[in-house]
Amino acid sequence: MSKFRIALAQVNTTVGDLRGNADLIKSWASRAATLAADLVAFPEMTVTGYPPEDLVLYPSFVAENKRLLNMLAADVNGIAAVVGFVDEADGKLFNAAALIAGGEVKGVYHKIHLPNYGVFDERRYFMPGDRYPVIELGGTVIGLNVCEDIWRRIGPSEAQCSAGAELIVNISSSPFETEKFATREDLVVTAAKRNRAFVAYVNQIGGQDELVFDGGSMIAGPDGGLIASSPQFEEHMLTVDLDLERVRSLRRLSPADRRAEAPVSACSQERWVVDTPPRQVRPELEAPGVVRTDRLDAIYSALVVGTRDYVFKTGFKKVVVALSGGVDSSLVAVIAVDALGGDNVVGLSMPSRYSSEGSILDARDLADRLGIEIWNIPIELGHRAFEAMLAPCFGDYEPGVAEENVQARIRGNLAMAISNKFGWLVLTTGNKSEMATGYATLYGDMAGGFAVIKDAPKTLVYELANFRNAAGRGSPIPRSVIEKPPSAELRPDQLDEDTLPPYAVLDRVLEMYVEQRQTLRSIIESEQRAVGERADKATVTHVTGLVDRNEYKRRQAPPGVKITGLAFGRDRRLPLASRYRETDGDLDQG
């Protein structure tokens, strides 16, 4: 056939909900069949949800996922489907994609390239595949592979196109990171142009623990142009008619890149031949289009989806947010309302003797604008009781950080008591700048179940607050919250900058040290070249030292949405007991 109709179903699966995921696949496959698609492709590990982590080490889990795959093969009618699952053979596990058609599993592809960096540790569980099949589906030759396989410059796609594939179908579960859509787009269009083939890339959406998947499924043409893409952060079926004659004519004029032999020399080729049901009249499709999301819109959507899915997939219905009147807690409350609805968010105001009247009023104003309930529990009674209890131990010692942190711990205790009483999840409000430097209190403001903005630096928090206020859905965050100097308000006249550098400087240093893993020397040199306010050698040394010393705090922090290229938690795993420290190599301060 010269025209091939493909459907890409970017769906929101739930890890471990094998039956629910199977029902989801069946429902969306039926929709694709109604559109008379020749093939519908689902994301990586659709049956199990991604990533299933150590669940795959339980034989019963793997067996049930295979049983449901076979059930799907019998239940999905009138269309061929590619479905991701976990395969087991001879005691080995594989990240796999099955082609189902005509009531049975026609073939299984095992992922060849297993990522083992960042948030990925697939080599812990899976063996690499050793076969690269091509599929003849009603006369169309298709190459099938999984996620990381297409990230290789020369890999299975090239081998499959060398064997005649005109269409590459890649099923993925690629987590969101800022600006990652552009990286994927470049990857897909480059692979299409290099191989003179159509490339269809389907990605899942939804939150899973700290990861958020943004979809953005796409199809590129053999000339390297992006034909169509799905919107990010929502379930969607992208259905497109592909004119295979474009591939054939381009290949006659200009042969595709044929350098696949070396990387796949240990792999064997297979060919699966599958008939397609006869098509009478196909319904008309809307003209395909490319959907792109602006940077701040994408980040904000990731935080909303990550929060929504974590709350609901863990079985909670409502959340509680401590509202201090500051920008961090205000942003978390707005995200929570956008994710869950105002009826499912309760604000908690816990003023102390050091809380400013402005902050108390700002918290109430925010709650009124959001239409959420706010409970007011002043902590003075508890504060005095703690002072009295600790007086015999603290004696005549000068008050300091310990006394300040008592207030944060009282608040953490109150929030967790309310969570315990009503079964609500506590959303913490600390940002990445605070988590990096330890500017947070264990069992205090770090106490809770989910840390919404733990991967958002303070400067990004301000960007997101302004973005949300201008996003056309009201302006919920009072200007006074955004404009006032940030303060923990744990002592008189306290400001964050009493302890930390200005956030613009701090976040720049943290990005270089944490996300880019630059050396102390290179950071100092970069700051010496910086225009405007910059960190001197002592400041850089102080900040990086704070990062190193506070790993133990971050290890005890709740999970939160990953939005940057390197987040604390799954991405960055450092020993707690370590004496290694970066040095500047005796760099002259200049």
Active site residue 582: no
| Interatomic CA distance for residues 236 and 23, integer angstroms | 16
Burial of 483 (0-12, 13-18, 19+ CB in 10 A): exposed
Is 44 catalytic? The answer is yes
In total, the chain counts a number of residues equal to: 590
**Residue 25 identity (one-letter amino acid):** I
Q: Which residues pair with 348 in a beta bridge?
A: 322, 375
3-state class (DSSP) for residue 81? strand
Residues 424, 234, 295, CA angle at the centre, nearest 5°?
Answer: 95
Which one is catalytic: 66, 106, 122, 147? Answer: 147
Q: What is the rounded CA–CA span in Å between residue 81 and residue 20?
A: 18
- For residue 422, give both structure tokens: 């009503």
Handedness of CA 495, 501, 507, 513 (dihedral sign): negative
Closest to 374 (Cα-Cα) out of 301, 320, 318: 320
Contact 15, 52 (CB under 8 A): yes
Q: Token digits for 440?
A: 């947070």
- Could you tell me if 188 and 172 are in contact, meaning their C-beta atoms sit under 8 angstroms apart? no
Catalytic residue among 106, 111, 537, 553: 111
At residue 339's C-alpha, the angle toward residues 472 and 211, to 5°, is 115
d(CA 147, CA 158): 15
Residue 588: DSSP 8-state: -
What Å distances lie between residue 334 and 214, 293, 301, 328, 466, CA to CA? Answer: 20, 20, 12, 10, 12
User: Smallest Cα–Cα separation from 425: which of 397, 448, 443?
Assistant: 448
Six-digit token string for 306: 């990550």
How many Å apart are CA 42 and CA 82, to the nearest integer?
6
Q: Cite the active site residues.
A: 44, 111, 147
